[in-house]
Amino acid sequence: MYKDYFQLKGEPFNLTPDPRYLYLTSQHREALDHLLYGITQRKGFVRLTGEVGTGKTTLCRALLAELGPRYHTALILNPTLSPSQLLRAIVEEFGLDARGGDRLTYLRRLNEFLLEINSRGRDAVLIIDEAQDMSIAALEMVRLLSNLETECHKLLQIVLVGQEELRDILAAPALRQLAQRIMVCYHLGRMDAHETEQYLHHRLRVAGAASESPVQFDRSAVREVYRYSRGTPRLINAIGDKALLAGFVHQTNHIDRRLVRLAVGELKEAG
């Protein structure tokens, strides 16, 4: 609705995890470097945790783009499945035939696939998002997948991505064998006030706002956005979107504290 008014080519504060809009703070860069290190060095298991809305899923999308064609990847976004269902979903994500199979059949097909691509100098990566929602049985099944290996290295690199409670879940005695195999870990925190300001400007630039573009968040608006969002990207996006809508409604290109407060008030009313 406000794109034409602000002369934008895209929606700067869309809530979808679009890697084009990824703003790499020092934390996000470190997190991405940890993920790439764990995968390229074939460490087997990597764990990425972070508070709700800190950009974990978007970071996963950026990771997929960084890996390139040498890597076969599977991304599981809904892990609330039984072990057999999860295994079938993994097989399907790798593009394998999952029809008419049981758990042993899926494991055999997956192992044959991994050995075949390994013989061609390629690697496979499995990324499981929202891993804190997995059952103990499903996590144990994923651990068993790490047993697929050659004499030299693991055939499958596994990245577990989840909210803070994933760390506590993996610390449970029943999962100690899995926890011991996680060699690379990173916890993603919120942005500070300066990063929040840079994030707002970055998203507007990616959406097509040139330096001469009339739309801008002034310093008072940025402070207000940070005060309500505490540097959480998802909340910044929600507030930024509503603030631009408020600017459009009030026919102003200058987003100030008053408009941000109107945006926050509307979000609070919506729950």
Domains and CATH numbers, the chain: 26-188 (3.40.50.300), 191-269 (1.10.8.60)
The 8-class DSSP code of residue 188 comes to E
pLDDT tens series, the chain, 271 aa: 788 888 888 899 988 877 788 888 999 999 999 999 999 999 989 999 999 989 898 899 889 989 988 999 999 998 999 999 999 999 999 999 888 778 999 999 999 999 999 999 999 999 999 999 999 999 999 999 999 988 788 999 999 999 999 999 999 999 999 999 999 999 999 999 999 999 999 999 998 876 666 788 999 999 999 999 999 999 999 999 999 999 999 999 899 999 999 999 989 887 6
Evaluate whether 58 touches 171 at the Cβ level (below 8 Å). no
- 3-class secondary structure, 190: coil
pLDDT, residue 40, reads 94
User: Which residues have CB under 8 Å from 19's CB, separation 6+?
Assistant: 58, 61, 62, 65
Question: Buried (b) or exposed (e) across 106-127, using 16+ Cβ within 10 A?
Answer: bbebbbebbeebbeeeebbbbb
Evaluate whether 163 touches 157 at the Cβ level (below 8 Å). no
The 8-class DSSP code of residue 174 comes to G
Q: How far is CA 227 from CA 130, 137, 153, 189, 199, in A?
A: 27, 41, 47, 16, 15
Q: What gap in Å lies between CA 46 and CA 43, rounded to an integer?
A: 7
Instruction: Tally Cβ neighbours within 10 Å of residue 166.
Output: 22
pLDDT, residue 210, reads 65
Q: H/E element holding 35?
A: helix 26-40
